[in-house]
Amino acid sequence: MIAVSSKIDYTTQVAILGAGPVGLTIANYLSKQGVHVTVVEQLDSLIDYPRAIGIDDESLRTIQSLGLVDKVLPHTTPNHAMRFLTPKGRCFADIQPLTREFGFSRRNAFIQPQVDNVLLQGLEQYENTQVLFSRHLDEFTQDANGVTLNIQNKDGNKEVIHAQYLIACDGGNSVVRRTLNIGFDGKTAPNQWIVIDIENDPLATPHIYLCCDPVRPYVSAALPHGIRRFEFMVMPGETQEELSKPENIAKLLSKVLPTTDGIEVIRQRVYTHNARIADKFRVDRILLAGDAAHIMPVWQGQGYNSGMRDAFNLAWKVALVVQGKATPDLLDSYQVERKDHAKAMIDLSVMAGHVLAPPKKWQGFVRDGIAYALNYIKPIKQYLLEMRFKPMPKYNDGALVKDNNKESPVGKMFIQPQVQLENGQTVLLDEVISNDFAVIAWGVDPKWGINDANMKVWQSLGVKFIQVLPAVQLGNEKRKIHDGVITIGDTGTEIRSWFGKTDQAMVILRPDRFVAALAIPQTMNTVSQQLFSKLHAK
């Protein structure tokens, strides 16, 4: 349960600094795995001012692993299109991906404080999890045995937290990162933007529109629960204090609304866009995640989602290490796997910002002309519509077993289709796997090639053995039943098509749903041993 204790000393397994979405997600995942967690937050409550408005399918899949996605989905608008407009209102790029490879809509609008609150409430079910608000971090130290945090509560009383590991999710200005003297290279954008959220959406048009006005670019976004967000570039000499005055807010809104009478402004805030990444994500028992490790402009909505990728990648590894199932060396794979992709998302966000507000005016005319022409070339239009330009995570090294096939799915996230259970119920695949490893085989017993020694390691790590058949075969009374194997039905052709692109009959999935290895029954022992080595399994 969530509580603020009067105790002076706390002993925990993992301390998390920062009760933002990344910290709360990691806390939920670790708590669900039975790890004792203490979250430390400097503020008195969750942040409620304007923040992220775009959550993708990967993030929803992460929240699904926490058992909270059904409480989050009502706060989203699925299939949220992104449209770039010329100053005259012509759409020159329409991004509206309708695919659902990972079980959810690829682009969704949401209001971050509402989802953050779901994550916070999710921690109430765990007796060994504490969330300590109104705590200021005075100092921290680490040694071979753990990390010690000296904190101060709002009454000025000193408290001490002893933890095995510290995960710093304390934002772009991370005190942990700065204290550790970790470089944070990159650039700060020369301009700022003001964000204005409005109750009772006065436009009520769906989707998000980015108007590339050379005078003052702006964004207009429809959000759940009848809220509209506007974002306007701040011009040189303008300040947050001046822009926040009601008359100046009304002046900005008059650019996009026929009248500002009766407009209900919920809140406004000025932001600076940064593009920076930490030199390293781990220093012994301390790890950086989310904005503490990387920050990026908002234009592709990937700051939030990149942080959630950090959370899913890191949480299962920390759980295995704390539980004594893997050595701490496994944690090195976190930076190996996440840093390059975070950098790719930063580059994409910077590029999108230049599309919206080119550094030079003439570049805007060139952009409009090229975009207009390309929109008539079907493959390029499809490329934009399906958001294929977004770099998908692909891990080439780390906690996986590579093969020599350039088209190999190893290191990519596995699909999540609907599957049929033997009782006839239809569910998303991850509901079958839970938060375990999975060995999934098409049509055969996924266990028959595994010897006793390797089986013991698999069982120690936590694994589901899953056989996939065409759904119509589930009712075959003569079908052989395999002990310790879950049999599911491929209701469409997604899983069969996935296996049809490989020459392997078995796939090993990590708890974060990434493909760790491929095998056939005859190679399963060798592949298992190779993967155990990469996992630093005990």
Question: Which candidate, 4, 15, 6, 31, places its Cα nearest to that of 129?
Answer: 31
Q: Which class for 281: exposed (0-12), middle (13-18), buried (19 or more C-beta within 10 A)? A: buried
Does residue 291 contact residue 174 with C-beta atoms inside 8 Å? yes
Q: Record the tokens describing residue 413, joined without a space.
A: 């996230």
**CA gap 281, 276 in Å, rounded:** 13
* Nearest in space to 212 (alpha carbons), one of 233, 195, 196: 233
Over residues 91-148, the pLDDT tens digits come to: 777 778 778 999 999 999 999 999 999 999 999 999 999 999 999 999 999 999 999 9
Could you give the dihedral angle defined by the CA atoms of residues 514, 519, 520 and 523, in that order, rounded to the nearest 10 degrees?
-150
Residues sharing a CB contact under 8 Å with residue 259, sequence separation 6 or more, in sequence order: none
- Three-state secondary-structure class, residue 336: helix
Distance CA 7, CA 4 (A): 9
pLDDT of amino acid 386: 47
Give the per-residue pLDDT at 310: 97
Measured distance between the N- and C-terminal CA atoms of the chain, rounded to whole angstroms: 32
pLDDT (0 to 100) of residue 361: 55
Task: Of 391, 352, 184, give the one whose Cα is nearest residue 276.
Answer: 184
Q: How far apart, in whole angstroms, are the C-alpha atoms of residue 499 and residue 491?
A: 15
pLDDT at 362: 46
Measured over the CA atoms of residue 238, residue 239, residue 242 and residue 243, the dihedral's sign is: positive
pLDDT the model gives residue 369: 54
Q: Which two tokens stand for residue 521?
A: 């029954």
* Distance between CA atoms of residues 57 and 79, nearest Å: 10
d(CA 329, CA 314): 13
| Alpha-carbon torsion, ordered 180, 340, 338, 108, to 10 deg | 120
pLDDT one-digit tens code per residue, 514-525: 999 999 999 999
Collapsing DSSP to helix, strand or coil, 356 comes out as helix
With contact defined as beta carbons under 8 Å apart, do 439 and 508 qualify? yes
Q: What is the pLDDT of residue 345?
A: 83
- The per-residue pLDDT for 299 is 61
Structural contact between residues 22 and 290, judged by C-beta atoms closer than 8 angstroms: yes
Do residues 307 and 199 make contact, with C-beta atoms less than 8 angstroms apart? no
User: Exposure of 238 by Cβ count < 10 A (0-12 exposed, 13-18 middle, 19+ buried)?
Assistant: middle
Q: What is the mean pLDDT of each run of 10 residues along the chain (538 residues)?
A: 62 98 98 98 90 93 98 95 81 79 94 96 97 97 97 94 98 97 87 90 91 86 95 88 91 92 90 90 98 82 88 98 98 96 82 59 52 52 48 88 90 97 96 98 94 97 97 88 95 94 95 97 97 97
> What is the reported pTM?
0.92
Q: How far is CA 114 from the centre of its chain?
A: 16
User: What pLDDT is stored for residue 390 in this prediction?
Assistant: 55
User: What is the reported pLDDT for 364?
Assistant: 53
Superfamily of domain 418-535: Glutaredoxin (3.40.30.10)
